[in-house]
Amino acid sequence: MRLRHESVVDAVVPARDEAPTVASVVAALRGCRFVREVIVVDDGSTDGTAEAAAAAGAKVVARAAGDGGSKALAMQAGVAASDADAVLFADADLLGVTSAHFDAICRPYLDGRATMSLGLFDYGRWNWLVLRFPPTTGERLVPRWVFEAVPPAKRQGYLIEIMLNEVVTEARMATCARIMDGVTHRTKREKFGRRVGARRTWRMFRELMALWGVCRWRTYWYYLRDLTIDRAPGPLPWPPDPPPGAGARDR
């Protein structure tokens, strides 16, 4: 049985009409020292996303998105296409992301400090607050069993992020979060234009606010209690010293 730091990690990138940025995200993931394979799930794109991802070196899985696209179902398809012990999820619309950012997300899980490791956008002076909200970030590493523990009926919309949080926190397992310095993403206004982008942004905020009714306060308390905020600068030695009792496989 593999120890935690020997886990195989694959990256899964759900993508729909993200041709302008998907190649740079794939390149950053392929440069991550801990990622074995990058899997891009083309969720019904019409703009050449699949071709750009494949040219950048990703394995592309096509999902027939008759439902208009579903990030959660695209994530599911990516996990199904991998046999890795853990999955690093990443959005396809990231700006400014590098391999070092992904290395930093992987490390807390692989060195045994956390079961779920998160990377959050850089909002400058608001970062202290962002780090303490219930996370809906698309940049996270979880062991495979965490994703598979989410009931299929709850693998939908932004709910998938809340359910991943719940699986980890209700099991009283630790989460590590860090700000990805300098990383942002293409906004909906940039993607769809001012008017359509504004409507989609407000719809997204409404859906996120509705999740407060799904996110249990107990779960949120466990999340904050077991949260570590990682501010470690630069690369650290690897592999780490095995933690005490590391002879047994960590779930």
Q: What is the pLDDT of residues 121-178, one digit of tens each?
A: 998 888 988 888 878 899 999 999 999 999 998 888 777 888 899 999 999 999 999 9
Task: Render pLDDT for 21-33 as a digit per residue (tens, 0 to 9).
Answer: 999 999 999 999 9
Residue 133: which CATH number?
3.90.550.10
pLDDT of residue 247: 39
Q: What are the tens digits of pLDDT across the range 164-197?
A: 999 999 999 999 999 999 999 886 666 766 776 6
Q: Count how many domains the chain has.
A: 1
* 92 pLDDT higher than 60: yes
pTM: 0.83
Whole-number average pLDDT of the chain: 85
Q: Is residue 199 one of the residues assigned to a domain? A: yes
Residue 242 domain-assigned (yes or no) = no
Q: Is 11 inside a domain boundary?
A: yes
Structural domain containing residue 143:
4-229
Query: In this structure, is residue 241 part of a structural domain?
Result: no
Concatenated DSSP letters for the chain? ---GGG--EEEEEEESS-HHHHHHHHHHHHT-TTEEEEEEEE-S-SSSHHHHHHHTT-EEEE---TTS--HHHHHHHHHHT---SEEEE--TTEES--HHHHHHHHHHHHTTS-SEEEEE---GGGHHHHTTSPP--SEEEEEHHHHHTS-GGG-STTHHHHHHHHHHHHTT--EEEEE-TT-EE--HHHHH-HHHHHHHHHHHHHHHHHGGGTS-HHHHHHHHHTEEE----S---SSPPPPTTTTSPP-
